[in-house]
Amino acid sequence: MRQSFYALPIISGTPDKRVLMRLYSIKTSEGYVGAIANDNRIITLSDLNGRIGTTFPTQVLEIIRSSDLTALRTQSEGWIAQIGRSMESVEFSAPFYNPPKILGIGLNYHEHAVDLGAEQPSEPATFMKPRTTIIGPRNAIVLPPQSKRVTAEAELGIVIGKRCKHVGEIDADSVIFGYYPALDMTAEDILQRNPRFLTRAKSFDTFLSFGPVILTADEISGDLSELTITTVLNGKSIRSNRISNMRFSPHQLVSFLSDAMTLEPGDLILTGTPGAVAIKDGDVVECRIDGFPTLSNPVVKEK
């Protein structure tokens, strides 16, 4: 059985003892660098390398591409508590800004399809977003002047960890690196004019908030489907649902997408929202997922 994805105490002793690890990017004097956390302490990979003489990648995407976290877990053990900083003392960014692909799934909850007056598709409804949409926690979502109705959607995201094709649903865990909270924005009035306008409606700058954490897949406890995802506006819960109520599960989505295209380390997959909310200048919108830090972003008009 996998270990709990809630914070565990640091364990000292033999190398096979495991430490809970969450991956972040934080702002330093050298720019944004990768970091790992345990409980309420966080350490950058640069600081860890400098202290113990290792050469671990210092960017989150490169950590994902390195594929094997065993050495990182073993050699970071104990150091997070000894030389790490308080989580409250650092500024987070998106974990990375250059994924090979961003793949989205629409209408994956029946209730959301009803909200939009859309027929739920018999296969996953897919779209892609450019990486220029990415922002991090607390960065502003900018409302473009071309749209009078922008909506935000809380979602569970998947990070692919291995290059793969034709992955069976039962094998999807072997290619998933981890999961993250996301807010996916849509210029809904543009989309409603014509469904062929989906790419433009999804692709304005700042239309994907990602982070602050990637929780490695092997830290998810029990049944992934028991997690609840909530879209929150100005502190009020707008719509919640459990992953078990998705039309297509995360594992099914990975299998389905891998039949169409080669998936690569660092690819981001958005699994669909339990419900969207219209946002306006001055709002604060959040994605809340059980066991994950809250992802929060203010909303402003484009100047």
pLDDT by residue (tens digit) across 200-251? Answer: 999 999 999 999 999 987 777 667 888 999 999 999 999 999 999 999 999 9
Q: Which DSSP string corresponds to 39-107?
A: TTEEEEHHHHHHHH-----SSHHHHHHH---HHHHHHHTTHHHHHPEEGGGS-B--S-S--S-EEEEES
Give yes or no: residues 106 and 81 share one domain.
Answer: no
Looking at the structure, tell me whether residues 134 and 69 fall in a common domain. no
Cα dihedral sign, 188-191-197-199: positive
Could you read off the pLDDT of 35-68 as tens digits, one per residue? Answer: 998 878 899 999 999 999 999 999 999 999 986 7
Average pLDDT estimate for 184-198: 95
Report residue 216 CA to chain centroid gap: 11
Contact (Cβ atoms closer than 8 angstroms) between residue 191 and residue 198: yes
Q: Give how far Cα 177 sits from Cα of 15, 60, 200, 251, Å.
A: 21, 12, 29, 12
Task: Please indicate, yes or no, whether residues 145 and 246 belong to a single structural domain of this protein.
Answer: yes
Q: What amino acid is encoded at 206 in this protein?
A: T
For 262-290, what is each residue's pLDDT tens digit?
Answer: 999 999 999 999 999 999 999 999 999 99
Rg (CA), the chain: 19
Q: Which residues contact 271 (CB under 8 A, 6 or more apart)?
A: 105, 108, 155, 156, 157, 158, 243, 246, 250, 253
Q: Do 139 and 43 sit in the same domain of this protein?
A: no
- Domain's final residue, options 61, 89, 117: 89
Picking from 89, 123, 148, the residue at the C-terminal end of a domain is: 89
Would the CA dihedral through 8, 11, 17, 22 be positive or negative?
positive
**Structural domain for 81, as ranges:** 22-89
Helix/strand/coil percent split, the chain, to 5: 25, 35, 40
Helix (H, G, I), strand (E, B) or coil at 207: coil
Report pLDDT for 24. 96
Residue 268 falls inside a structural domain: yes
What are the tens digits of pLDDT across the range 244-255? 999 999 999 999
How many domains does the chain contain in total? 2
Q: Are strands 141-143 and 295-301 parallel, antiparallel or unpaired?
A: parallel
Query: Are residue 170 and residue 49 in the same domain, yes or no?
Result: no
68 in a structural domain: yes
**pLDDT reported for residue 111:** 66
DSSP state letters, 114-160: HHHT-PPPSS-EEEE--GGGEE-TTPPEEEPTT-S-EEEEEEEEEEE
Whether residue 287 is contained in a domain is answered as yes
CATH number at 296 reads: 3.90.850.10
Whether residue 117 is predicted with pLDDT greater than 50 in this model: the reply is yes
The three-class DSSP label of residue 189 is: helix
- Closest by Cα among 273, 84, 58 to 184: 273
Are the beta carbons of 131 and 97 closer than 8 angstroms? yes
155 and 33 fall within a common domain: no
In a domain, 94, yes or no: no
Residues 31 and 140 in one domain: no
Both 60 and 176 in one domain: the answer is no
Domain annotation covers residue 6 = no
Secondary structure (3-state) at 200 = helix
Check residue 62 and give left, alpha or beta (phi > 0: left; psi -120 to 50: alpha): alpha
Q: Does one domain contain both 168 and 286?
A: yes
Query: Are 140 and 267 members of one domain?
Result: yes
The stretch 160-166 carries a mean pLDDT of 96
- 61 and 196 housed in the same domain: no
Residue 220 lies in a domain: yes
Residue 282: what pLDDT? 97
Assess whether 35 and 110 both reside in one domain: no
Single out the residue in 64, 89, 114 at which a domain terminates: 89
User: Does 15 map to a domain?
Assistant: no
Residue 7 has what pLDDT? Answer: 27
Cα 197 from Cα 159, distance rounded (Å): 26
Is 30 part of a structural domain of the chain? yes
Report the phi/psi class of residue 33: left, alpha or beta, with left for phi > 0 and alpha for psi in -120 to 50. beta
Pairing of strands 102-106, 268-270: parallel
